[in-house]
Amino acid sequence: MRTAFYISDGTALTSEAFGHAMLSLFPMKFKHRTLPFIDSLEKAQRCAHQINLAAAEDDEKPLVFHTFVNTEIKRLVTQSDAIHYDFLDHFVGRMEAELGVKAQPKTNRTHGIHQDYNFRIDAVDYTLANDDGVSTREYDQADIILIGASRTGKTPTCLYLALQYGIKAANYPITEDDMDNLQLSYDLKMHRHKLFGLTIDVERLQHIREARRANSRYASLEQCQREIDKIENLYRQEAIPFLNSTHASVEELAAKIMDEAKLERHRY
Amino acid sequence: MRTAFYISDGTALTSEAFGHAMLSLFPMKFKHRTLPFIDSLEKAQRCAHQINLAAAEDDEKPLVFHTFVNTEIKRLVTQSDAIHYDFLDHFVGRMEAELGVKAQPKTNRTHGIHQDYNFRIDAVDYTLANDDGVSTREYDQADIILIGASRTGKTPTCLYLALQYGIKAANYPITEDDMDNLQLSYDLKMHRHKLFGLTIDVERLQHIREARRANSRYASLEQCQREIDKIENLYRQEAIPFLNSTHASVEELAAKIMDEAKLERHRY
């Protein structure tokens, strides 16, 4: 199996995003190695050595996705026995010509602390303090309030919205106790323009709940079916937008919610 | 000000990563617009219209960073009045030649649900259940345990480790009560090979705490200084690796911790 390296003088998150997007186009498996913070000639040399070792071991040239600012470090790494992909390099000339401005590469600019960084930390604090319905007093500050049955993906989606986009995302569970006379609570009604629902396929919900509380009523197919039916009805009656999380990752859920709820992200 | 568009038939996270990395090379400001899930000809047409409007409004051609699978949709979008950057397009031919395999683009492959997706949701659950020292019973399952004074960035870093890498990251606060006779508790000693410390510049800590509890002893410069001095001493005495979070984003902290603690990520 061929090895893919993601290398940078910073976090290597950009190299990873670039490399993963490229490799996802090919129906093959790769070994993955990330080498972040390659910010000295000595580290660059060790890095080139690792690449050469992988080339020898795999008997196939590794694919190396890299973004470097320092040209000496880049030169050392690209001397290794591999196929090197440098996407910044390729596009930067074109962009300089178009913008009429010289590029000024700086290390760690992409994932460093921006002026809007505190937004994200505040959003994480907010999301934790308003997770799972523990408090509704700060809903006036919420950018969005996710609702749904237990284990439909509310919490991870809220955390991703906070970390990635700086969105203050509260979430409120609709529980079994609510089922007999299901309606929006006063707190939710007051903020109904911020509500966004999650739902999930019943079989998937049963599977997830079974892993947490085996053989419980909570995990029974009947109970899951009952909750999902009633909750989806509520969404429709109250015209609350909602998404099905069964086949969606947190990234997809978060991006869809940003788009459909027309949320302004606090981070770029 | 020129507008930058990030467009895709999926989440557009890859287009954003690509575009942000490029634009971060230039000392200029841009307006940013993300248009995810452009997955029909009708949406593509509306998207092209929005780009044309921005071109007219800004009196400068927008920069468009896009990744599309469907060539008809791509054609519609790239007819708009803008400069288009398609990084997949440029590299895919080279990679096909090198791998000897035809690319098979599929929508939502990069940020969809992978087989290792449940790892990340489990890691988020774990991290929340083991946040802020609320429980130490599951430390045998931890991949890493962050320790440090209050407000040094433990929780957001743990959540990022869980969401991005599928790492089970617990965290344990070292509080004022511990200061008189500071040593590792029994639970921490038992798992000392998993410990990783965070510290922060005293002035920055004071500033953050002041925003939370103004004029408190907790936020006083003396108290912050005392805690940081004692805790850094502990790290050195016990040979616990540690990082200063003052000028580091959660992305940087998480990537450094992954690297220094040699953690195996559960997601690619």
* Residue that is written with structure tokens 């986009």 in the block: A165
CATH of B117-260, one of 3.30.750.200, 3.20.20.140, 3.50.50.60, 3.40.50.300: 3.40.50.300
Cross-chain residue pair B104–A26, CB shorter than 8 Å:
yes
pLDDT at B89: 82
CB proximity B37 to A under 8 Å: yes
Residues with Cβ within 8 Å of A157's Cβ and at least 6 positions away in sequence, in order, are A146, A169, A171, A198, A245, A250, A253, A254, A257
β-strand partners of B147: B172, B197
Q: Which two tokens stand for residue A15?
A: 């190299």
Between A182 and B106, name the one with better pLDDT.
Answer: A182
- The whole-number average pLDDT for the span A69-78 is 92
Q: How confident is the model at residue A236 (pLDDT cuts 50, 70, 90)?
A: very high
pLDDT of A197 over the 70 cut: yes
Cross-chain residue pair A36–B163, CB shorter than 8 Å:
no
CB proximity B249 to A under 8 Å: yes
Determine if residue A110 is labeled as part of a ligand binding site.
Answer: no
Tell me which chain A residue has its CA closest to the CA of residue B98. Answer: A83
Question: Which uninterrupted H or E stretch holds A19?
Answer: helix A13-23
Q: How many CB pairs under 8 A join A and B?
A: 192
Which residues on B lie below 8 Å from A156 (Cβ)?
120-121, 124, 163
pLDDT of A195 over the 90 cut: yes
Between B108 and B15, name the one with better pLDDT.
Answer: B15
Candidate from A94-103, A138-147, A151-160, B45-54 with smallest mean pLDDT: A94-103
Task: Give me the interface pTM, i.e. the ipTM.
Answer: 0.87
pLDDT at B107: 62
pLDDT of B176 over the 80 cut: no
The Cα–Cα gap between B29 and B225 comes to 38
Count of CB atoms situated within 10 Å of the CB of A132: 15
Cross-chain residue pair B255–A12, CB shorter than 8 Å:
yes
Q: Which of A24, A244, A153, A162 is nearest to B8 (CA)?
A: A24
Determine if residue A152 is labeled as part of a ligand binding site.
Answer: yes
The Cα–Cα gap between A148 and A235 comes to 9
pLDDT at A202: 97
Is residue A144 within 8 A of residue A169, CB to CB? The reply is yes
The Cα–Cα gap between A24 and B127 comes to 29
Candidate from A13-22, A171-180, A229-238 with smallest mean pLDDT: A171-180
- B227-265 pLDDT tens trace: 999 999 999 999 999 999 999 999 999 999 999 999 988
CB proximity B137 to A under 8 Å: no
Instruction: State the number of CA atoms in the 13 A half-sphere of B153 facing the CB.
Output: 29
Candidate from A101-105, A109-113, A135-139 with smallest mean pLDDT: A109-113
pLDDT of B268 over the 80 cut: no
CB proximity A263 to B under 8 Å: no
CA-atom Rg of chain B in angstroms:
24
- The whole-number average pLDDT for the span A234-248 is 95
- Chain A nearest C-alpha distance from B25 (Å): 5
- The whole-number average pLDDT for the span A27-53 is 95
Candidate from A101-110, B22-31, B68-77, B197-206 with smallest mean pLDDT: A101-110
- The whole-number average pLDDT for the span B45-50 is 97
CB proximity A193 to B under 8 Å: no
pLDDT at A268: 45
- The whole-number average pLDDT for the span B187-195 is 94
Question: Which uninterrupted H or E stretch holds A197?
Answer: strand A195-199
The Cα–Cα gap between B119 and B264 comes to 12
Cross-chain residue pair B32–A249, CB shorter than 8 Å:
no
Q: How confident is the model at residue B104 (pLDDT cuts 50, 70, 90)?
A: confident
Average pLDDT, chain A: 91
Q: How confident is the model at residue A115 (pLDDT cuts 50, 70, 90)?
A: low
pLDDT of B68 over the 50 cut: yes
Cross-chain residue pair B26–A265, CB shorter than 8 Å:
no
pLDDT of A119 over the 90 cut: no
Q: Which two tokens stand for residue B146?
A: 């962050």
Domain residue spans of chain A: 3-99, 117-260
pLDDT of B115 over the 80 cut: no
**In A100-201, which residue ranges form alpha helices assigned H by DSSP?**
117-129, 154-165, 186-190
- The whole-number average pLDDT for the span A189-206 is 96
Is residue B234 within 8 A of residue B240, CB to CB? The reply is yes
CB proximity A251 to B under 8 Å: yes
Is residue B227 within 8 A of residue B198, CB to CB? The reply is no
> What's the one-letter identity of residue B137?
R
Is residue B22 within 8 A of residue A95, CB to CB? The reply is yes
DSSP A140: G
Question: Which uninterrupted H or E stretch holds B197?
Answer: strand B195-199
- Chain B nearest C-alpha distance from A179 (Å): 25
Determine if residue A153 is labeled as part of a ligand binding site.
Answer: yes
pLDDT at B114: 57
The Cα–Cα gap between A150 and A132 comes to 9
Cross-chain residue pair B265–A34, CB shorter than 8 Å:
yes
pLDDT of A160 over the 60 cut: yes
CB proximity B182 to A under 8 Å: no
pLDDT at B60: 93
Cross-chain residue pair A103–B67, CB shorter than 8 Å:
no
The Cα–Cα gap between B268 and B265 comes to 8
Which residues on A lie below 8 Å from B90 (Cβ)?
87, 90-91
CB proximity A112 to B under 8 Å: yes
Residues 197-236 of A with CB under 8 A from B: none
Between B105 and A234, name the one with better pLDDT.
Answer: A234
Q: What percent of chain A is predicted at pLDDT more than 90?
A: 74
